[in-house]
Amino acid sequence: MSSSSKVPAGRLARLGGFASLAGKLAGGMLAEGAKRLAKGESGSRMELLLTPSNLKRVTSQLAHMRGAAMKLGQLLSMDAGDLLPTELADMLARLRDNANPMPPKQLAAVLKAELGEDWQRHFADFTFKPMAAASIGQVHRAEHDNGTQLAVKVQYPGVRQSISSDVDNAATLLRISGLLPQGVDYQALLNEAKVQLSREADYLQEAAFMMRFQQALSDSPDFLLPTPWMDLCRPGVLVMHYVEGVPVESLQSQPQALRDKVVTQLFSLLFRELFEFQLVQTDPNFANYRYNEETEQLVLLDFGACREYIQAFSDAYRQLFAASLQHDQSGMDQALTTIGFFSEQIASEQRLRVLELVKLACEPLQQDAPFDFGQSDLALRLREAGTALSFQHNYWHTPPADAIFLHRKIGGLYLLAARLKACVNVRALLQPYLHSGSGTTMASATRAAQ
């Protein structure tokens, strides 16, 4: 874990952080330009900007600032057009769980503000060194007086208050640095980023989503979720039962059958979230999934990014998937129009390219047999197709936010399936949900896939 550093909580302090980063990037560009000039070489503005040293500067500064500043790049890169260069998008994604933790003095001040002057009386033991430090908060082990093992998520100070200004400042930095193409209208996405980040920063809302998922999954023995300790939960502190589990990526060395089972359960859960619960946990971060080796259950963590969907939205995706299986391009076009992909006038060539991209994303559904994610280069082809759609065919229309966040989740599952080299019959998992009003349970859908 990175060394601790005080979180800049005030508006001016955070603005200064962005100004400092802009200055460092400009200095890095000048230095790189001079170095190339001395060698008789030239380079584009993008090449001068995206040097390893400049990327390191961005990483270091954002890890120090935390909050919405760390999350914006990922949100901007969720669109199929891949607005950010690959190097920067990948770097920002890696930042999510590599923030600098707060120093103990600042941590104690946050706990005092949230739980009261005598906050320590609530715990028989509290470990000041965090288990993890991410973009919005950090997690600590603790023990209740009755011996219950707890996990305590503590939000960085000033995160909620700085979301709007952080997003605006980060967007300005990206624009003036030339990392975002000229003429791209991304304001709607920025506004949605502010709304979504505000939701994620409300730990009481996250506790409520956690309990809703517990209830929804009460019929499934495959999953293990923490229970929030509501008496101690606050907007900036989330106290919950501690749940044992190893990182889901560590299952790479486990037998094929276990890896297939875990990824099958996650795809089953996705379809149940979309078509039964109409409540989707949209954050695909691998750290949100762990595996309890003793109980052989998947552990689900972090419910801050849950998103509710209306029936019409779920039905439109039901229609889209069904049309894809039938190779019905007209039906796919109609479903995408209902979802909101074609809400603006676009050229027929652009429309066809969007359809081709969606067909590519549905590739795992096209065979009624296990799809070998480990042997597939689907993620790379999706990125290349998305980039071509934007840069070669000049299609910068941003899909509706509901679709973006759902695609974020699906893309994350594809990446995890590839990491675990899983083989999953995704089509069999989806099939029971393709009829409107289906009452199929996740258990029966999973059995159908096996």
Catalytic site residues? Answer: 283
Scanning 230-328, the segments in alpha helix (DSSP H) are: 256-272, 311-325
Strands (E), 286-352: 289-292, 297-300, 306-308
Indicate the residue type of 153.
Answer: K
Total length of the chain = 450
* 356, 427, 429 from 368: Cα distances, Å: 21, 6, 10
Positive or negative torsion for Cα 162, 166, 169, 171 = negative
**Among positive and negative, which fits the CA dihedral 261, 314, 89, 64?**
negative
- Nearest of 72, 80, 71, 74 to residue 396 by alpha carbon: 80
Reference 28, options 60, 75, 66; nearest CA is 60
Where do runs of H (alpha helix) occur along 362-400? 378-391
Per-position b or e across 210-235, b if 16+ CB within 10 A of its CB? beebbebbeebebbbbbebbeebbbe
Selection from 337, 68, 76 nearest residue 186 by Cα: 76
